[in-house]
Structure formats: C-alpha cells, structure tokens
Structure 1
Amino acid sequence: MEREPHAKIISRNAYGEEVCAGAARISTTAGDAQAIFEDARGNSKNRALIGKVLASGHKSLIEHAVFTIALRDVSVFVEQFFIEFRLASFTVKSRRYVDFSRLGYYIPPELEGEDLALYRRYMDGLFAAYGDLLEAGVPREDARFLLPYAFHSNFYCTLNARELGRLLCEIRSRGRDVPELLALADELTGQLEEQFPCLLPELCESFEDAPAGEAFPLRCSSREPVFLARGTAGTVSLLRAPAEPMELLEAAHRVQHPGKPLDLAALSSSRRPRELEQLAYTFTVSGITLSGVTHLVRHRMQSIVVPPIQSVDHSRVILPDSVAADPAALERYQTAVRDAHDRLLQIRERPALEKLHYYFALSGNLMDVMTTMNARELQWFIRLRSCSRAQWEIRDIAVDLLRQLRRSFPELFDHFGPACFSEGRCPEGRLTCGQMGDAVRRFKDLEA
C-alpha cells in the first residue's frame, strides 16, 4: 500500500505562547523572570502582545517556542530542502545501515497514463538494481548511489518558531513549484493554526506575491553516462586561509587567557577552544555525490553553498570501488545507470515529467559545493570524518582537506585527526576498527 508523504508536529515545548509573551514583556516590565512568566500564564493579552512585538520587527521572542516535526515517507528531495536550514536539528534514517529496497518512493499524484508508467519504470528499474547489488554483497553505502531522489525518507526535525516560519516561507517562494513541498507546508500551517497561531502572520504576508525559485531545465551533459572512479571525484581545493593564523590565535588567546602563553597542543585538546573560531578556511569540493552532500551539511556551523538538486548533471555518476571490483556487480550497476539515462532522454520530451526531473536525480550524481568553516568546526569535522568508521567518500574529503590544512598551518593542524590520533582514545566502542596503533601512525606521518 502506497503511503502519502506526511509532516506532523509531534512535540512542542510546554507553555510556548506564555514563554514568548514573557520574553516580550521582560525588557520593559518590572519583576523577575519567573514572576513575569507566571503573570503570562492565562493572560488573554498574550497573543496580541506577541503580534505587536513581531510587527515592530523584534522576532527573537518566538525563538523560545520549539517544535519537533516527524516527516514520514517524504522524498529525499524534500529532506535535502529541509536540511539546508542550519538553525534546526535533524536525525535521518541512515542509507548506510538500512535496506531501502522496500521503503518505496514518492509518486506525484498529478501523473497519469504513459507519464506515470514511464516514471514507475524509471524508479522500479533502479530499485531492482539496488536490491540486486545488495544480494551480490555490495555494501549498502555503495548500492545507495543508484537510489533516485524520489525514494522515501523519514526523519525528525527540531527547530524554533522563527526558523519554522522561515522554512515555510522559503517553501512558498523558491519551493513553490514543488507540489510535494507545498502540500507539506499546508499540513504544517494547518497544525500551527491550532497549536501556535501567533506564528501565522510571519508566514509571508502574501504567498501569492512571493518570488518563484529559479527554473532549471533537465541537464544531461552527454548522450551516455560518465562514470567517475573514487580517485577522480571529491577533489578538495583550499581557496582561502588566514594570512597570519598564529597572530590571530595569540591575540584571541590573550583576550581569553590574559597573561598565559599560548600552547597549540593544549588548545587543540581543550574542551572550549574558542580561539580556533577566529580562523576561517574556505574550500571547494568538486565532484561530491548527492549522498556525500548530506554527510557534509550535517555539520551545522559552516557557511555552505550547495546548488539546487534541480541543477544536477544527470550524466555524471560515481563508480564505487566495491562495484568496480566485481564484474557482475559492475555490469548490473552500469546497465541500470544507462537504462535510467536513456529514459531521461525520453523524459525531456514529456513536459509533465520534465518539470519533475529533480526526482530522477541519482544519489550517485555529482555536484560541486563550496563552504567556509572555522578551525574549531574543522577540528570536529576531521575528528569524525577522517575516522575509518566514516563513509569512504566523506573520509577521503576530510583526509585530503587535512593534508592541505597541514601545509597551510602545520603548527596547529598537525594536532588534528580522528579521535584515536587527536585524543588518544577510540570512542566507537564495539564498532572500533581495532587498529588504533596503525591509525595513529598513519596520521602522524600523513603526507602533506
């Protein structure tokens, strides 16, 4: 039985409206914070006050209302749209550990006739190949590159009312040409009418006047798919680094710890290395898969530029080592991609399908991204992603980036690496690789 995508607010903080009303009063009202909150409980003027303060441009008060949304059987395209909102927290069903062969895919309700049949053939062909690869022993994290961006995703999203309002406004503007997104926005807006009506005036004054998102035609750069091996994809380029990083760190350290000399080893192992946040590094990753992008954007403290899924080049596809090493798996993988690519060329001639081409993107399609992280976030990113437990694509990116960072500022980045190297312990418990000594030696001698 096919299940429709659904978004439900499953949790919100108690007395959210009263807390926001207390926040609206606290800066101009005598009394302590607890007394002001007690006065707000049951106060019939709360809603009018919140509306008045919001209308004056002071939006921060609604950040005290927090919601958790469960998204069920939405397309992974919707997931990608949501996780761009960095002031929210997400937990997603993993494609590395969960078999998605029977979890289904989104079917646009407006499709019918031959359009619907072609859509199903495209999706069913890829899901069948995905299942065959799993049966052949290909790891899930590699077989998933065949999953089309219509496959069902399930995840939790927690965010405050201000960010929720911004999310819904973005759906109504740059996402307005995606019916699935609009239907989810309608669901959430209806729930907010009952649970937190104070937010409704913030959901764009006029959705009809909101600018539409940029239009992208279906893009296939070649008549045949181009398969890129592990070594030719995910190329990292460090574009910008501080000119005088040591001077910046020393200045920050003097402020943070007056009269105390800077010790980079101690700073790297500190539980609160705020000085590292003063160093910003900008880099690009050329040829990262759509699956790889989801690993990267989970690091919230960064400024990342990701192109829309609608702009992806459907012709460029990753070829994982586990598939390339098995002749039967290689033939199945390449045949599935070629069949899908042939159907894409047919889709170009069918307007009802062409406008939905983002659902036809493969998880193994490649794009280029750019991001800026400070050294503290880089420390966390490299700690997690250079570990042997990390997925191989994001691990390659993290290690390549670390090499370049060590060339740029070895005094600091020679201390960075996976937890076994940087902290002297493995946090993976029973999932440890069991090769801590080798890993420590490898990162100690990592060639810059």
Structure 2
Amino acid sequence: MLKLNKKFSFALIIFLMVFVIPCISAAETVQYSQSGQNMSSDRFVVSDFTITSERPEIYPGDTLEMSYVITSEGFYDRLISLPKGLYFTALDPDGNLVEAGKAYTGQFISPGDSIIMKARLTVDKPGTWRIWPSYTIQNKNGIVQYNPEEWAAADIYVEEEDIPLADLTIIEAGTAGTGENGDGLRFYYIVKNTGPLDANTTVSGILLNDEDMGIGNPVGILPAGESQKVFFTLSNVSKGDKITIVLDAAETEDELDEENNDWSFAVNLKNDVSKTSDAADSSAVVSEEPDQSSNQTSSVVYYPATTAVCCDVTAQFIILGIIAVLMSVFSFALGYYYCQSKKCENELGWMYAKIKRLEAGETIDHSYIKADEVLPDEDIAEAEVVLKGKSGKEDSGDKEKPEEEKTEESVDVGTGDKEDKKE
C-alpha cells in the first residue's frame, strides 16, 4: 500500500509539472476566433481560424500564433501544390503583403479530409494587421487554384510602442523670505519628474510680469519619480507681481508632455505657497537654503522622493501552494485509512516478536514478519497491552525459574550426590 502511495504521488507530481504548471506560466490571449465556416468556390472549407498572443496588448516585435482547419468538400483528390501550399497572408498597416507558413506542398487532400495548418507571424509595425488563411491547390486539370482574397479575414491591432521619456512638472512654488542682507525676495519651486526615464540637467527661465529676467536657473539631474527643490532671488518685486517659471526653457530635454512646464503665481509678500492638488505639504520638504546675493544667482537643492517596495504574489505560486496542501491532506488520508483498515496487526506482531527475541537473547532478524506467522489472534491483544506498558505484571527483582528448570536442577544435584557416595 505504501509503495502504491509513493507511485501515485510521483505520478501526480509529473502530471502537475507537464500539464498544469506550463498552462499557468504560458497562458495565451485569444485575439481572434472564427465563428462558423467559410467555403470557397473550389469547395474548400476553412474553420477554427484562431489567432493568439502571449499578452492582451500586442506591441511591435510580438509573435502571433495562428491556426486554421481546411477541409475538402470536392469530388476528387486535390494536390496541395507549389509555390505556396497552405499558408497565411497578412496585410500590414502600410499595405504590404506578408506571408507565413507555406507547408504541405506535394500532399494530396481527398474529399472529406481535413488538415490543420499552423504558423507564426511576428508583427513589426503598429496599426491594424489584416490576416486570412490561404492556399494554392491544383484541380484535376493541373490548374493552380488560389483562395479568395481576404477570405475569412481577421483584423489584429498592434499598439503604439511607448518611448520612455522624462516629464518635468512643478508641483509647488512660493516665497521663501528675503534675500541676503534684505536685498530682494527669495522664491522656491519644487520640480518633479513624473516620467519613467531620468531627466538630465536643465535650465529654467524666470519671468516677472511676463518679462524675461535673463536668469538661467539650473535644475540638476532628476531620477524618475523624484523631486527637487530649487531657489532663486528677485529684486524690485512688489505685491501682486506675477512670477512665471518655465522648466527646460532651452528645450534640451525630450519629455512626454511639453505643455506642463509653465507655472505662474502672484506675489503677496507673506510667504505664500502655490501648489498642485497632488503636491506634498511644504513643511515636509527638508532642504538647506543656499546663500544668494543677487537676482542672477541661484542654487539647486536636491529633494529625495520616497519610494515604496511592494511584493508581487503571482497566481502561479498561490495555485502551487494550494496543490501542495491538497497533496498533504491526501497523503494523510491514505495513511489513516490504511491504519484503520489493517488495524496495524502486522506491525504489532512484528514488534511483539522482536521484544520476545530480545528477552531470549536471540539475534534479531530485521526482515518483515507477518503477525499471522508469529502470534495467534488471541496474543495480539496481549501484545497491545505490552506495548502500552500495561501488562499488569510488576517487576519483583529476580524472576523465579520455571518448575521444569527446577526439576532438572534437583535431578542433577541428586545424581551428583549419588556419585559422591559411590566414590
């Protein structure tokens, strides 16, 4: 029974490795599935035309898995002929024809016979691809017949590939106090890179009442997702003046959105703060304020952003965990059933026989001994009592010898006395 259990467990593991795990890790997305059938004028029927991909969205460079079934409904054998045999035709977004497959040339197809055709196609352009089953087959007169154009066609859309770029935007700006020696006012703004790519060093432009102040305010290298606090000083600023900050004024950095680089606010001389709805509280921004003495100098202070790390628990590991638990429960159930059905009589008999032989000082043979060959049924109950330590017999020091042994000893002693007397 134990050997059978091991074989079953091994077979179950092999089944999971061969069938279940590949299905979990290599799940495909059906992009197109034909409904019904299409028959050509040559009496060929195409059915089960399907197209699948590895992920729901298709991008340039992805590979499509294609298949269809072609069945002959004609009245005589046909030859799948050159130059192409069975294949797929695709019309790319630029209007160019692409072919894939070209198999089964030289093979005959009889009335009622079906052939499954499979092939792969790698799409290399974004846009709509039109794909349909195709064939070149000879009739009985040796004339090559072609499938109808765009026969049972499927339209597959390939997404535009996103080019990773940085994206600089201002999330907060305001007054930082008076300048050095009370000369002018100091202002700050917080720049955040919301794009997936790091941003290089850029220069911001500063405008006062829409007039360019000629200040090249640098913003240092900014990793993706992080922020930076920048200061600048302006003189001759009055309440109500409009200050405009233009990020990447020289347009040296390619960004995802070039329209979100401007930020304007009015001066009210009260440490005012202007921020976006998703900006952090300015009190949480920790930075060292640099010394500035004129309206043409500036300093950059880096503002590190916090990052979070999350754990991605995939469905594959969850399913494997459930399978492991089920296997453990199944193994326990098999062991419990075996013990209950057999009542462990063989094991008890073997252990009791071993104890008896140890008491007799014999050498123990560790080979398996069935209970029926060692003890009768009535002694099995006694074996259970012995194993549980409830034999009812208490140790009383030296054990008395059996009467037979005593009789033999007395006879030996008597014989010895007689021999002494004769001498």
Q: TM (normalized to structure 1)?
A: 0.15
Name the structure with the higher helix share. Answer: 1
Name the structure with the higher strand share. Answer: 2
Flag the structure with larger Rg.
Answer: 2
